Structure 1
C-alpha cells in the first residue's frame, strides 16, 4: 500500500485555520489556546513531545464546533450549559481518525471543571491535559475584548487574579500557579499577535518530522474535515461523503485507478471545507440570498482551495476540490477558469456536487426526482457549463448514482 509523507504540523495548522473560520469574529481562537497551553506545559517542564501534543490538541480542541451561533456562545462566557455537546462531537470525530485519535479523550473533557474531573475514572494525564485546554480556552475568552487594542497590557493582572479565584474549582491548582507565573509579563500577551503566532508556529513546524500515512489514514483525515463541514446544517448531513462516493464511482467508470482515484475521493470529501466560514443562517435560509449573502457563499470554494494548498500542496487535490464551481465556459467562481483549465477530475466533482445537492432536501426546496436532476444536468451541458461526457457516464447507471446520492 502506498505511503505518503505528510507534514502533520501543516495538516493540523490547516485544520485549525479551517475551524477558526467558524468564529469569523474570533479568528485564531484555536491557535491562541494552543500557544498558551504549550507555554504552560513548557513552564511545567513537560517533555517536548507532550508540549507539541498539547499544542495540537489546542488547535483542534473545537473541532466539534461548526455552527457560528454555537461558537459565539462558547466565546462569550466562562461556562455554558451546552458546552459539552461539542466536546462529545469533537471526541467522536477524532476517535474515528487514527492519526489523531490519541487526542480524543482530552477533547472530550476540555470543558469539564477540575473538581468534576477528579471524580471521573480518568488517567491523571488525561485530566491534566483536558484541564489545561479548558484553562487556556477560558483565558482566551477573558482576553477577547482586548484583542483589537493594547489594553490587555493594562487588564492582564485582573485577568490573572480572576483565574486564581477559580483554582481547585474550574482549574487544577498546579496549572493555575504555572499560568499565573508565566502570564505576569507583557511578553506572554504580546505573543498572541497574529503575525507572531504564525511565526512561532512555523518555527515549531520546521523542527517537526514528517509522518508516513497510508491511504486509509489520509481519508480518515479528510473525513474529519468533511464531518465538521456537513454538521453545519441538517440539510447538508453527509453531503461531502456522498459527493466523494459519486465522484469515486464516476472516476472508476472513466478508468481512473490507483492513487489518482484515492485523490479524487479525498477531493470530494474536502470540496466544501471553505463553507466553515459561512453562517448557518445563510446555509439554512429558505428564501433567496441577498447579494451580500451570495458573495459570502461564493467565497467558500476559494477558501477550500487555499486551505487544501497547505495540506496537499504537492498534489492536484486543492485544484480538484477548489474548482468545483467553475464551468467549461468560464463563468463560474472563484477563478472563472474555462475548459482548458479544468481536469477531468474537476469536471467529475462538479457533476457529483450538483447531482448530490439536488438529491438532498434543502431549506428552500424538497428532494428532486432523478428525472428532474438529469434534465437539469443536460440543460447545463447544453449551455456549455458541464462536461457532457461526464453527465453521459452518470446517465448510463443513473439509478445507482441516485442511490449513492440519497444514502
Structure 2
C-alpha cells in the first residue's frame, strides 16, 4: 500500500507537540521548527536527497518517547521539573525514543540519531559522548532543538534572533559543536530565521522535502501503526493498548467479512489512529475517575474531531481518516462530533464504531474489570436495537470474536512493557 509517510510523521509530530505543550509547556509547532532548521542546516553540510528526508523524520520524531518518559518518571506531574532544566534520567527518554523508531521505513541508516540527540559537544550530555562520537544528524537536531527551547517563542522577532545568537555564541564548543553552529549561521540570516515563526512553516518544509508516497508492506504498515498507537495510548495509561487492540480487532473483523487485503491493511491503520485526537484533551479529563461534568464531556467529545483534523494533513488519506474519525457517530444521527446518520456512514465506519465499543467493554482498565465476550455482545445488540450501531455488524462481531475467552479482559495485547 502506498502512503504519504512523511505526512503521517508530520501528523504524529503535531500530536507530540500537543502533549509537550500540556506537560512541559513548549510552544506549538516545536517539532516542525526543529525539522525545518535541521534541514536547512544540513543542506549547508552537503546533505541531500533521501538522507535529508530521513533527517526531517528524525527531527519530527526526536521527542517521540517524551510522553512515555513523563508518564513513567513523573506520573504526569512534572512540577518538580522545568523546561530550562534537563529532566533526571534524560537518557531513558533517548533510549526509549531510539527503540521506538526501530523498523520505521527510513531510507538510510539513522542509528543513534535519537539516542544521542541530547549529547553536548564537550561530552557533558547524558551519555558522556563528545561531538566526534555523535552522528551528524544527532548533533544538528540537538542544536535546533536546544535553540527552539531557549527561544521559546510562538512569533519570532528581532529579539528572538538576538537570543539565538547569544545562545550560539555562549555554547559553541561546549553544548553545540563548531561545525554545526557555523552551518546554522550560513543557513540563516536574520530575515530567514524570523520566517520560521510564520504560518507557512509546513509549506516551507515540504518545499525542501517533497512528500513522495512510499509503497509499504503490511509488516511495515503494522510497525508504523503500532508506533502511533504506542504514542496515543501512553498519553493516558488508563487506556493502555486500547488503540492497537482496536486495530487488531478491526483487521480481524474486516477479513472475516470477506474484504480484500488492502482494505484489511487500511482498517488496521485506521484502528491504530482512531484516538489520536485524544492527545489534545487534557489528562484531567481523560483520567478523571468519576462521572464527567457536561462541560468535561463536551470537551472529551472533541477528540474525534481532533482525529479528523490531525489526519486531514496527510495526502490521499481521506478514506482512512474517515474510518478513524467517525467511530463515535451513530446511525440515528445522535453521535458525535459531526452528527452523521446512517446514509453518511459506510460499512468500514460502522465496523470501527462497533469494534471500538466492543474493545472498550472487554478490556481491563484500572477503574473497571473487562466483561465477557457474551456480555459485550448483549450490550452491542441493545445498542443496535436503539438504532445507534449496525445490527448486521454486531452479528458479525459476535461470530468473529466468539473464540475469545469467556473470562473478562482476555483480549489484552501488550505493546509496551510499562
With structure 1 as the length reference, what TM-score do the two structures score?
Answer: 0.86
Classify the secondary structure of the residue corresponding to 1:76.
Answer: coil
Residue 128 of structure 1: CA displacement?
Answer: 2.6
Classify the secondary structure of the residue corresponding to 1:328.
Answer: coil
- Contact residue 131 and residue 172 of structure 1 kept, 8 A: yes
- What corresponds to 1:5 in structure 2? 2
- Contact residue 131 and residue 177 of structure 2 kept, 8 A: no
Judged with a 3 Å threshold, the aligned counterparts in structure 2 of structure 1 residues 300 and 180 are, in CA distance, closer, same or farther, namely same
- Contact residue 240 and residue 269 of structure 1 kept, 8 A: yes
- What corresponds to 2:123 in structure 1? 116
Is 2:96 aligned against 1:89?
Answer: yes
Classify the secondary structure of the residue corresponding to 2:216.
Answer: strand
The count of aligned residue pairs is 399
- Contact residue 285 and residue 364 of structure 1 kept, 8 A: no
Q: Matches of 2:262 and 2:78 in 1, distance apart?
A: 37
Correspondence 1:1-400 to 2 at 5 A? 4-24=1-21, 26-66=27-67, 69=76, 76-99=83-106, 102-103=109-110, 105-116=112-123, 126-144=134-152, 146-148=153-155, 152-180=157-185, 182=187, 185-205=189-209, 207-311=210-314, 313=316, 316-396=319-399, 398-400=401-403
Q: Matches of 1:328 and 1:115 in 2, distance apart?
A: 62
- Contact residue 358 and residue 376 of structure 2 kept, 8 A: yes
Residue 126 of structure 1: CA displacement?
Answer: 4.7
Q: Matches of 2:341 and 2:389 in 1, distance apart?
A: 11
Q: Matches of 1:159 and 1:251 in 2, distance apart?
A: 53
Cα deviation, 1:300-324, whole Å, max 9, x if unaligned, reads 2122223333336256211111111
Residue 28 of structure 1: CA displacement?
Answer: 0.3
- Contact residue 13 and residue 61 of structure 2 kept, 8 A: yes
- What corresponds to 2:416 in structure 1? none
* Aligned Cα root-mean-square deviation (Å): 3.1
Q: Matches of 1:78 and 1:137 in 2, distance apart?
A: 14
Judged with a 3 Å threshold, the aligned counterparts in structure 2 of structure 1 residues 395 and 108 are, in CA distance, closer, same or farther, namely same
Q: Matches of 1:249 and 1:257 in 2, distance apart?
A: 12
With structure 2 as the length reference, what TM-score do the two structures score?
Answer: 0.84
Higher helix share: 1
Residue 153 of structure 1: CA displacement?
Answer: 0.9
Classify the secondary structure of the residue corresponding to 2:298.
Answer: helix
Q: Matches of 1:101 and 1:277 in 2, distance apart?
A: 32
- Contact residue 5 and residue 210 of structure 1 kept, 8 A: yes
Residue 75 of structure 1: CA displacement?
Answer: 7.7
Q: Matches of 1:129 and 1:74 in 2, distance apart?
A: 27
- What corresponds to 2:73 in structure 1? none
- Contact residue 151 and residue 163 of structure 2 kept, 8 A: no
Classify the secondary structure of the residue corresponding to 1:95.
Answer: coil
Cα deviation, 1:203-244, whole Å, max 9, x if unaligned, reads 224x45443222322232222211111122222221111112
Q: Which runs of 5+ in 2 are unaligned?
A: 71-75, 414-418
Classify the secondary structure of the residue corresponding to 2:403.
Answer: helix
Judged with a 3 Å threshold, the aligned counterparts in structure 2 of structure 1 residues 239 and 312 are, in CA distance, closer, same or farther, namely farther
Residue 371 of structure 1: CA displacement?
Answer: 4.5
Q: Matches of 2:61 and 2:219 in 1, distance apart?
A: 21
Residue 125 of structure 1: CA displacement?
Answer: 8.0
Judged with a 3 Å threshold, the aligned counterparts in structure 2 of structure 1 residues 275 and 267 are, in CA distance, closer, same or farther, namely same
Q: Matches of 1:71 and 1:174 in 2, distance apart?
A: 34
Judged with a 3 Å threshold, the aligned counterparts in structure 2 of structure 1 residues 71 and 328 are, in CA distance, closer, same or farther, namely farther
Residue 180 of structure 1: CA displacement?
Answer: 4.7
Classify the secondary structure of the residue corresponding to 1:406.
Answer: coil
- Contact residue 37 and residue 144 of structure 2 kept, 8 A: yes
Residue 395 of structure 1: CA displacement?
Answer: 2.4
Residue 246 of structure 1: CA displacement?
Answer: 1.5
Q: Which runs of 5+ in 1 are unaligned?
A: none
Q: Matches of 1:79 and 1:139 in 2, distance apart?
A: 14
Classify the secondary structure of the residue corresponding to 2:66.
Answer: coil
- Contact residue 123 and residue 130 of structure 2 kept, 8 A: no
Q: Matches of 1:405 and 1:194 in 2, distance apart?
A: 46
- Contact residue 312 and residue 321 of structure 2 kept, 8 A: yes
